[in-house]
Chains A and B, each alone.
Chain A
């Protein structure tokens, strides 16, 4: 008989799972239109989960070393919950407007977030895989949620097929690692990797694991699904895709590589350098030709993942801090931008061409200014928070001696600046078209205003956020 494991470290996840089931019941037994109720209850659940996570166990490993909690996982979970909560509000606004409101929608979000939290806390390759799958399966359904829409279903299928392939790669890599290292727990792997001679089998396994994870965070060359899924899925769901899974995926990426595989940093560093450089440059170049703003955002997020991966390449505390801080800024930039995209409606109908933004500065100066601030921030121009995000990443890179990588990244950011500026050009320089974009709703309006205001605020007082990221990064390297 084994002892009963300690449950306390996992209270946030347990609470969330139970609450999700309870909300499922609520949705089933309430007859009509319970989505708004379930949405707000879900937001409440996420808030409570975040509170539980923050005030819960500081640092522990439980469930036979499958599950770990420390300062890093708490920070990552709070970020994920924040991103999911904000986008869930947007999802509700959209679903109500499109008359496709069903209570399953917030629940799918809730379950995928649960998967993300398990990913972040995974301390074993099996636990990692289970978390990834719980997340991914919910995401596939979300992508195809708008089932009467041809593009949405196509996006769902595409996402599913390619996602299943990536999961296969991940699983195959894990099994190789297990076969050659003899264990799947992170601690066991860390000692095996550190003590034993470099095993080619483990190296190949790691490359497969990296490929699988790179797919989940849509890093080049595993990014092909991203533009199609971003374009096909309903806008607020795309917003969710671009925020929560990316944050969780990158945090998992970080934990998996600097934890169990720390001893093989020289092997995986080269791979991540290539992925980061490709993501930054291709994200910048491919976005130039895009006409659909959602595809543009897809390439933009590919580029941002590239920058975040520089923090991973560095592979030390400073890099981790840069990555976490970057993700925090990225979260608000993306949520704000998608709130704007969601407000791109002409007489109630959604439009997605970037040309539709023409003359927005005259028809709706507030929205134009919010988007302009967000775009300058994405381009990394001071005085916007996006600059500080890149700054911390590049500081870490230069400090660790990756000067050439930093130069490539900065030059890619110049190319990237071009297409962000293009949006501003369309809003401010071009003559308005006949189609006038409707004023945004209250909720979306607040979200975009707050996000853009935060870009300035975070720039002026970054210290508390950086301290938070720093504490989280330190916890990661303690154990």
Chain B
């Protein structure tokens, strides 16, 4: 028995969870036969693989030790020995829940695509499995080069998902998504290389322990910001997001909103803040400014949208504005609130896109005006949609409340006017979401094709029910999640404030020295 348990303890669980989807993809690749049979088999293989991955990822959660900021489940293998760059995996309280979020959403995406994807089903499922590997790997990577590889690798399957299975201007959106993100990412790569030469390692713990001069920090911070701000996305580099969301298939939007946007926030928490504390402090006003614009401006933009997906896409930008404010408010409540808000937004916005997908599958339009009165013939749908809508608004008792509340509390301690302005976003959020809900679900049921719509089928209930449970759980007992991140966030902030306290008193003038360093 002990032998077995040590064996299980020594399993490289993170590697298994990361690469298990690829095994499923390999199986799908090997299926042969009639198109119909291949499609059916691909769906089932993908579903079971992702479910198994999810179950295994729960093992990570159960075995995860709360109350320590150390990286856990660490694994290390040589990869580029000449540069001492290794395959180094590990999770801490900040990243672990994102792994669960990714593995939780992927099976739901597979289910959501069950009937709506009829073209190239095999390739679609492979793309999703590869995407899952990239996402999980990114959150587990403890080496910056490895992180970069997964971070960029996400682009390939997502590009194909939008471009092949999307609608509308899918080609335009796919290219816009890819090139926007790639441009940001290459600047991250330069920052990465520059850090590497200062420290002699790309190991994330080593980089966190390293000290960079203030001038260098400012440049490195900007390089990273270029990448993470596009990913979050922050105003004004958010314009790829509405396009990508509108044209992506439902499941693609789910992953985009649910996980991909979190990569930016995660990047700030993992790299910008702990590695470049002085620069983070220096640029905080910039982040606050852009985030506030995002919160208020994109909320207003969301109010006037006529396309359901576009509305939710803009609301995502607004919600992620809260996240960046929370991260850079840099106190315990705000940062935990930001992480919680990311998780909450991950499930809620994913659910909202799934809800749009449900009606889109029936009527093949996302035009809000084409709906109305759905509560009469789709009561179950109306209920599910209401839960997610209220969670998005931030009603107490749902996950959205906890995140927003913590962020605002934390931010208020740091800068009350920023908190005040951000709070207007909450009001506007309630406005556009309730307005959306009223137009789609309430009102007279007059249109004949809308009358013909049937309520949720079992498959759709199976998709939405788990999310409702999670949303309520996160809202009613958030400690289950906050406990996980407590120690890591405290550690992060302690290091941050220590670094600021011990910084060199003398601050070199900007400009000339920056240029000197670049050249």
Contacts and interface: CB of A to CB of B under 8 A. Distances in A.
**Size class of the B contact interface (CB-based, 8 Å):** 35 or more
B160 interface: yes
Given A361-B123, A410-B187, A417-B182, A395 B193 contact: yes
Contacts of A414: 179, 182-183, 186
Given A425-B163, A425-B174, A429-B170, A417 B153 contact: no
A462 B82 CA distance: 10
Interface in A398-420: 398-399, 401, 403-404, 406-407, 410-411, 413-414, 417-418
Interface in A428-479: 428-429, 462-463, 466-467, 470
A329 to B, nearest CB: 14
B189 A394 contact: yes
A387 interface: yes
Contacts of A413: 186
Interface in A355-385: 361-362, 365, 376, 381-383
Contact of A467 (B82, B178, B182): B82
A365 B123 contact: yes
A381 B152 contact: yes
B149 A387 contact: yes
Query: Interface residues of A: mostly helix, strand, loop or mixed?
Result: helix
Q: Which one of A382, A411, A466 has the highest number of Cβ atoms from chain B below 10 Å of its Cβ? A: A382
A399 B190 contact: no
Contact of B193 (A388, A398, A428): A398
- 9 interchain residue pairs of minimum CB distance: A410-B186, A382-B149, A398-B193, A429-B163, A382-B152, A414-B183, A428-B164, A414-B182, A383-B153
B123 A429 contact: no
A429 B152 CA distance: 21
B189 A417 contact: no
Interface in B115-157: 120, 123, 145, 148-150, 152-153, 155-156
Contacts of B196: 395
**Size class of the A contact interface (CB-based, 8 Å):** 35 or more
A387 B152 CA distance: 10
Interface string B158-187: 011001100000110011001100110011
Contacts of A388: 80
A411 B183 CA distance: 7
A421 B170 contact: no
A470 B170 CA distance: 44
B81 interface: yes
B444 interface: no
Nearest to B519: A404
A361 B83 CA distance: 38
26 contacts: A381-B152, A382-B153, A387-B152, A388-B80, A391-B189, A395-B193, A398-B194, A401-B519, A403-B518, A404-B518, A406-B193, A407-B190, A410-B186, A410-B189, A411-B186, A414-B182, A414-B186, A417-B179, A418-B179, A421-B175, A425-B171, A425-B174, A428-B160, A428-B163, A462-B79, A466-B82
Contacts of A410: 186-187, 189-190
Interface in A190-247: none
Contacts, number: 91
Interface of B: 78-83, 120, 123, 145, 148-150, 152-153, 155-156, 159-160, 163-164, 170-171, 174-175, 178-179, 182-183, 186-187, 189-190, 193-194, 196-197, 518-519
A355 to B, nearest CB: 14
A391 B190 CA distance: 10
A407 B187 contact: yes
Q: Which one of B78, B149, B170, B518 has the highest number of Cβ atoms from chain A below 10 Å of its Cβ? A: B149
Interface in A146-171: none
A429 B83 CA distance: 39
B190 A403 contact: yes
B394 to A, nearest CB: 38
B194 A403 contact: yes
Contacts of B152: 381-382, 387
A470 B163 CA distance: 40
A252 to B, nearest CB: 25
Contact of A466 (B80, B164, B175): B80
Contact of A381 (B123, B156, B175, B187): B156
B355 to A, nearest CB: 27
Contacts of A424: 159-160, 163
Contact of A463 (B80, B170, B183, B518): B80
A403 B179 CA distance: 22
B516 to A, nearest CB: 11
A410 B179 CA distance: 12
A376 B154 CA distance: 12
Contacts of A376: 156
Given A376-B156, A410-B190, A411-B186, A417 B178 contact: yes
A1 B287 CA distance: 80
Contact of A462 (B80, B159, B164): B80
